[in-house]
C-alpha cells in the first residue's frame, strides 16, 4: 500500500500507539489501514460415493484439480460464498450440510473453509474458471494433480472420516481445524 484510501496522502508502515504490529498509517490524516486475511469458501460436493472436482482454467495452478471454492465477497456469508463458488465453477446446485474443515494458511494471509454439501441432482458443468468438472471416487482422485494443499488435506480428512465411520450420511459432527505452514521456498516450488 502506498496511498491512503481516505485522503490520498502517502502511508508509512509503523506500529500505532496501543498496537503491537506494523500497520499502514496515513502520514496526513493518521488513519490506520488494517489488512486482514482473506476467506476462501468452498464445498465438498457429494453425489453418492463420489466427489465433484474442477480442473482450473485460471492461475494459480492452471490445469490442476480442486474443490469448487473461491474468495468470499463483501455482504456475503460463508455458506453463500461456498454455494456461489460451487455454482460458478462447477455449475452444480448443492445443499450445504455442515462446516467440515477450517484451514489457516498464514503465510499467504488466507483461511480456507470447506462445507460438506450434497448435490441436488446429477447436473454439473464447467464454469468460466474451470476447464472441466468430473465426479471422482476415492481411488480415482488425481492426488498428484491437486491444486492446493488445503484441498488435499480436506479430501484426505474426508476419506479417513468416511472410512472410520465418523460421517453419518456425509454429515460430520466435528469440524477439522488445522494449519498449513509453508516456507517461502515451498510456496515458490509447489504453489500456495
DSSP the chain: --B-TTT--BEEEE--TT--S-EEEETTT--EE---PEEEEEEEEEETTEEEEEEESSSSSTT-EE-SEEEPPTT--HHHHHHHHHHHHH---EEEEEEEEEEEEGGGTEEEEEEEEEESSS-----TTEEEEEEE-GGG--GGGBS-HHHHHHHHHHHHHHHTT-EETTEESS-EEEE----HHHHHHH--
Whether residues 96 and 134 share a domain: the answer is yes
Whether residues 31 and 105 share a domain: the answer is no
170: pLDDT strictly greater than 60: no
Number of domains in the chain: 2
Residue span of the structural domain in which 102 resides = 38-190
Whether residues 87 and 5 share a domain: the answer is no
Q: Which of 115, 112, 81 is nearest to 98 (CA)?
A: 115
Average pLDDT over residues 177-185: 85
At 169 the pLDDT is 62
pLDDT in tens, 98-135: 999 999 999 999 999 999 999 999 999 999 999 999 99
Whether residues 66 and 159 share a domain: the answer is yes
Whether residues 8 and 74 share a domain: the answer is no
Whether residues 45 and 23 share a domain: the answer is no
Binned at pLDDT 50, 70 and 90, residue 187 comes out as low
CATH number of the domain within which 29 lies: 2.20.70.10
Global confidence as pTM: 0.88
Whether residues 22 and 86 share a domain: the answer is no
Whether residues 145 and 67 share a domain: the answer is yes
CATH number of the domain within which 124 lies: 3.90.79.10
At 100 the pLDDT is 96
| 62 close to 55: Cβ distance less than 8 angstroms | no
Whether residues 9 and 93 share a domain: the answer is no
Whether residues 24 and 76 share a domain: the answer is no
Whether residues 98 and 163 share a domain: the answer is yes
Whether residues 53 and 139 share a domain: the answer is yes
Out of 83-97, 146-160, 173-187, pick the least confident: 173-187
Amino acid at each position: 500500500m502506498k496511498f491512503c484510501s481516505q485522503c490520498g496522502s502517502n502511508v508509512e508502515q509503523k506500529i500505532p500507539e496501543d498496537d503491537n504490529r506494523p500497520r499502514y498509517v496515513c502520514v496526513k490524516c493518521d488513519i490506520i489501514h488494517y489488512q486482514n486475511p482473506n476467506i476462501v469458501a468452498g464445498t465438498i460436493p457429494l453425489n453418492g460415493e463420489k466427489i465433484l472436482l474442477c480442473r482450473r482454467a485460471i492461475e494459480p495452478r492452471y490445469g490442476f484439480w480442486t474443490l469448487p471454492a473461491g474468495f468470499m465477497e463483501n455482504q456475503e456469508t460463508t455458506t453463500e460464498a461456498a454455494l456461489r463458488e460451487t455454482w460458478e465453477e462447477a455449475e452444480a446446485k448443492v445443499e450445504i450440510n455442515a462446516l467440515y474443515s477450517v484451514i489457516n494458511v498464514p503465510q499467504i494471509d488466507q483461511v480456507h473453509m470447506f462445507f460438506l454439501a450434497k448435490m441436488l441432482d446429477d447436473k454439473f458443468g464447467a464454469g468460466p474458471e474451470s476447464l472441466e468438472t468430473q465426479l471422482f471416487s476415492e481411488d480415482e482422485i488425481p492426488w498428484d494433480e491437486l491444486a492446493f494443499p488445503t484441498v488435499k488435506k480436506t479430501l484426505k480428512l474426508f476419506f479417513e472420516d468416511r472410512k472410520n465411520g465418523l460421517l453419518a450420511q456425509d454429515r460430520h459432527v466435528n469440524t477439522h481445524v488445522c494449519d498449513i505452514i509453508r516456507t517461502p521456498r515451498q510456496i515458490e516450488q509447489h504453489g500456495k
